[in-house]
Amino acid sequence: MKSGFWWGAATSAFQIEGARDSRGDSTWDQFCETPGKIAGGHNGDHAARHFEFWREDLDLLRLLGANSYRFSISWPRIFPNGASEVGAGGLEFYDRLVDGLLERGIEPLVNLFHWEIPLWVKPEESILNGDFAKHFGDYAGVVAGKLGDRVKHWMTMNEPNCLIGDGFGGTVHAPGYGWTGQKLMQAQAGLLDAHHLSCSSIRKCCSGAQITVALAGTVVCPVDPTAEESAYQATFALDTPTHWSFSLYADPIYSGEFPTGFTQAFGFDPPQVRWSEESIPDFTTLNLYSGTRYTEGGLLKAVPGAPASAVEWPVVPEILYWGPKFFERRYGKPILIGENGLASMDWVTLDGDVPDHHRIDFIRRHLIELKRAVDDGVNVIGYHHWSLLDNFEWQEGYRKRFGLVHVDYETFKRTPKASFFELAKLIKSNGIGL
């Protein structure tokens, strides 16, 4: 890869921190308490106890050879009870974390929002009446004011389409409202406004800040060159009414305009969103896990028994070639792979190791495709594996494992898996040999 390429891993606060008693409650705490929502009735109260073990976790990142780490800030840790009161110890925790990263030669990429909304924000009203965006903009200003002297790379939010599609529209993620139609679209607009106001706050507090937002979705990969144009169009097509389309979020973020064809697809006019040049990401972050394959004849059906993850996502490594290529073409910005990883059922063997060979193969196959994109001239600036640690996997509870490092949820012992050492080797050689 190019020199200065970011090699690292990503995590999120609710999924790893634990220490619920030292933060305010969020929509995800409430959701976990709703019977039947989370496998095994699990919750984020302990997660991987990163709040306690953060030094050990940063040492693991150093052992991996990472030069970059994406983590998220827990909004309810900064503002536990309301807009006027910054919580004791929350900012200090992240302050120490940032210093700990810099001491280890690791560049922090701070994500302000990975879906846990403080309960006092009352999203059922505030996402519709503009208060959510206002509170979020203020929160961004407080965090950037504290960390902006050392943190230059900021992510306003993770996968807004997942929060809207699964959380406001669906019922499988918090807050689980099941909204539809214009109301759901208004919620999406409220979230896009929050992106805009947080960009303004960050840019105000932190000169030279590089801002991004993580986008997720399905990349449609052409299997032959003649299908490239149709696959590109299909990747950005409007997907109604599920709110999962890349373009439904990225177009208004990059240009202030919803995609052409919106009114026809949804049956009503697009909402207004707050936007200015400040809202435009400086680089595009893509969280890519899965994709589909396409020929001129249409989408290819996966062969029965084809490789798939433990959450049943088909393994389609070309997403790391076509995703960066298509996004660079459409939005013109450098590309970071912000998440890419495999859910599986790993355990510590009698020998004391975790031989996750399928994850090694997953990583190699995906990085070979990413390298192909780089060799073809796509400006890819980094790769963050999801995830550093096994963690609370949302509706799956603790039963699906995404980590490079195994976490024992009784003892909280960390055991680097075989894939950790393989990725460390690839990082050390800067991808030579892929």
Q: Applying CB under 6 A, which residues contact ligand BG6?
A: 12, 15, 158-159, 162, 216, 287, 311, 339, 343, 386, 393-394, 396, 402
Nearer to ligand BG6, 274 or 406 (CB): 406
The H-assigned helical ranges of 256-389 are 262-266, 319-331, 357-375
What b-and-e string marks burial along 223-244, b requiring 16 or more CB atoms within 10 Å of the CB? eeeebbebbbebbbbbbeeebb
Q: For the CB of residue 114, give the shortest distance to ligand BG6 in the complex, in Å.
A: 6
Cα separation, 197 vs 191, whole angstroms? 10
Q: Is 63 helix (H, G, I), strand (E, B) or coil?
A: helix
Q: Provide the pairing of β-strand 380-386 with 405-407.
A: unpaired
Question: Number of C-alpha atoms within 13 angstroms, CB side, residue 388?
Answer: 30
Q: Which is nearer to ligand BG6, 369 or 393 (CB)?
A: 393
The pair phi, psi for residue 215, each rounded to 5°, is -110, 140
Torsion angle of the four alpha carbons 77, 82, 85, 91, in this order, in degrees rounded to the nearest 10:
20
Residue 227 CB, shortest distance to ligand BG6, in Å, is: 27
Q: Distance between CA 368 and CA 360 in Å, rounded?
A: 12
Rounded to an integer, what is the distance from CA 125 to the centroid of its chain?
25
Cβ 209 to ligand BG6, closest distance in Å?
22
d(CA 209, CA 348) in angstroms, rounded, equals 41
Nearer to ligand BG6, 343 or 426 (CB): 343
Tell me if residue 139 falls in helix, strand or coil.
Answer: helix
What's the token pair of residue 222? Answer: 């052409």
**Residue whose CB is less far from ligand BG6, 86 or 311:** 311
| For ligand BG6, the closer CB: 126 or 387 | 387
Question: Of the residues 339, 369, 393, 422, which is catalytic?
Answer: 339
Q: Active-site residue 339, yes or no?
A: yes
Q: Which three-class secondary structure state does DSSP give residue 254?
A: helix
The values of phi and psi at residue 148, to 5°, are -65, -15
Question: In whole angstroms, how close is the CB of 350 to ligand BG6 at the nearest point?
Answer: 29
Greatest pairwise CA separation for the chain in angstroms: 61
Nearer to ligand BG6, 162 or 227 (CB): 162
Catalytic residue from among 107, 159, 318, 422:
159
Opening angle at CA 324, ends 321 and 329, nearest 5: 120
> Is 422 a catalytic site residue?
no
Residues 6+ apart with CB under 8 A from 196: 133, 273, 274, 275, 276, 278, 279
Classify 51 as helix, strand or coil: helix
C-beta of 375: minimal distance to ligand BG6 in Å? 27
Strands, E assignment, 259-297: 284-287, 291-295
**Rounded Cα distance, 277 and 312, in Å:** 39
The residue count for the chain: 434
Closest CB 15 distance from ligand BG6, rounded Å: 6
Min CB(363)–ligand BG6 separation in Å = 15
- To the nearest whole angstrom, how small is the minimum distance from the Cβ of residue 287 to ligand BG6? 5
Cβ closer to ligand BG6: 1 or 335?
335
Nearer to ligand BG6, 44 or 324 (CB): 44
The amino acid present at 353, given as its one-letter code, is D
Instruction: Tell me whether residue 15 or residue 74 sits nearer to ligand BG6 (CB atom).
Output: 15
CA pair distance 83, 427, nearest whole angstrom: 42
Cβ 153 to ligand BG6, closest distance in Å? 17
In angstroms, the CA 376 to CA 380 distance is 11
Catalytic residues: 159, 339
